[in-house]
Amino acid sequence: MVPNPPSAPSDAQLDQVKEAVRALLHQPDYDDGSAGPILVRLAWHSAGTYCATTNTGGSNGAGMRYEQEGGDPANAGLQHARAFLEPIKKRFPWITYADLWTLAATVAIKEMGGPEVTWSGGRTDFTDESKIPPRGRLPDAAQGADHLRFIFYRMGFNDQEIVALSGAHNLGRCHSENSGFEGKWVNQPTRFSNQYFKLLLVNDWKKKKLDNGLEQFVYVDEEVELEDNEEPEELMMLPTDISLLSDPKFKIWVERYAEDKDLFFDHFSRVFAKLLELGIRRDASGKVVNDENTEGGYRS
Ligand code: HEM
């Protein structure tokens, strides 16, 4: 138990934090010009350690501040996302890291043209490493459909939810220095859309072996006219992304989301809200209830 949990912030206080997140999204010198995609990944990796059987992991605790979780190779690169948010934490010390990381992702999704995601506060920050879950709970992009089910069923998601969540790969890119994979999934990686599903279906994805031995899938649009010396732009998919096409139960949802953007936005907003709440128990009023794996919530 945290001895003196903070009192719940007012809507006006939360609005100030959201405004501060909006103000930092535009980062002309970073990646594709936005901090948005990596903020989404930060929230996802903070929550994606959840195990429903043991009720451990999840977005409570902000364990990535500690080497045990922050130094997990699966979290490589996310130090940039945490650094983007640090000035906001300094300016609004009453918000916990765990709340800030999750809230920032919802702001980023909305600002990038995505759906509104319901968010509730009350997460606390672990004060030591004892409750940090073991490494190895996040998905390995080099694997396939069985692995996705193993990882996401552990969190309590079903096939439809796995595909909807994967639609976040409309955003951002892979960096060889982080994951070993390289490139972006769509042409406009700072705009939330259902383009990822459309491209999965229409393009002819070819396996490409990278210098580091990893395999990803690539597509080059040969119709695009290039200027002299211009390299053709290559889009990419991870082996796990391609497994959504080869598995019939996943593919049904790829097809539906490719043809119906509103359906995808609706399902994504629900499933992302569910992701952020994994492992967090609330009473009827929405206040976080403690159990042996959580510490805290706001003082009522
Ligand atoms: C980036 C794997 C699911 C959001 C990445 C990267 C990998 C990856 C390898 C590249 C990281 C880098 O090199 O910087 C996977 C696998 C998943 C998965 C195997 C299993 C389905 C998700 C989910 C979300 C998500 C559920 C959010 C709902 C993102 C975002 C990026 C990203 C936004 C771009 C980050 C950036 O631009 O820096 N993912 N991911 N991913 N992932 Fe996933």
pLDDT tens by residue, 133-162? 999 999 999 999 999 999 999 999 999 999
Q: Is the pLDDT of residue 116 over 50?
A: yes
Residue nearest to atom 26 of ligand 1 (CA): 165
Atom of ligand 1 nearest to the CA of 139: 19
Residue 298 is predicted with a pLDDT of 60
CA of 296 to the centre of ligand 1 (A): 29
Give catalytic status of residue 45 as yes or no: yes
Residue 224 is predicted with a pLDDT of 65
Q: Is the pLDDT of residue 299 over 70?
A: no
What is the architecture, at CATH level 2, of domain 11-139+272-289? Orthogonal Bundle (1.10)
| 3 state SS of 235 | strand
**Where does CATH 1.10.420.10 sit in the chain?**
145-267
Residue 300 is predicted with a pLDDT of 44
Burial class (CB in 10 A: 0-12, 13-18, 19+), 170: buried
Residue 293 is predicted with a pLDDT of 54
Which residue among the candidates 169, 185, 253, 267 is catalytic per the annotation?
A: 185
Q: How many CB atoms lie within 10 A of CB 287?
A: 15
Report the alpha-carbon distance of residue 154 to residue 203 in Å, rounded: 32
pLDDT tens by residue, 20-69? 999 999 999 999 999 999 999 999 999 999 999 999 999 999 999 999 99
Q: Reply yes or no on domain 145-267 having CATH 3.30.70.141.
A: no
**Where does CATH 1.10.520.10 sit in the chain?**
11-139+272-289
Residue 207: its H or E element: strand 206-209
Reported pTM: 0.95
**From 31, 38, 39, 41, mutation site for ligand 1 pocket: most ligand atoms within 8 A of C-beta:** 41
Q: How many CB atoms lie within 10 A of CB 281?
A: 15
* Residue spans of beta strands (DSSP E) within 157-204: 173-174, 183-184
CA of 141 to the centre of ligand 1 (A): 9
Q: Which two tokens stand for residue 54?
A: 């043991």
The residue among 252, 193, 244, 241 whose CA lies nearest residue 217 is 241
Q: Is the pLDDT of residue 89 over 50?
A: yes
Ligand 1, residues at Cβ distance < 6 Å: 37-38, 40-41, 44, 77, 139, 141, 148, 165-166, 168-169, 171-175, 178-179, 181, 238, 240, 272
CA of 41 to the centre of ligand 1 (A): 6
**From 137, 174, 250, 253, mutation site for ligand 1 pocket: most ligand atoms within 8 A of C-beta:** 174
Distance of CA 155 to the CA centre of its chain: 14
Residue 295 is predicted with a pLDDT of 55
pLDDT tens by residue, 188-245? 999 999 999 999 998 899 999 999 999 999 998 776 676 777 777 799 999 999 999 9
Over residues 166-194, the mean pLDDT reads 97
Q: Where are the alpha helices (DSSP H) in 26-134?
A: 36-47, 67-70, 78-91, 97-111
The residue among 299, 282, 281, 279 whose CA lies nearest residue 46 is 279
Report the alpha-carbon distance of residue 241 to residue 143 in Å, rounded: 10
Give catalytic status of residue 185 as yes or no: yes
Residue 7 is predicted with a pLDDT of 74
Which residue among the candidates 44, 45, 101, 119 is catalytic per the annotation?
A: 45
Q: Which two tokens stand for residue 290?
A: 């403690």
Backbone angles phi, psi at 59, to 5 degrees: -75, -10
pLDDT tens by residue, 250-296? 999 999 999 999 999 999 999 999 999 999 999 999 888 876 555 55
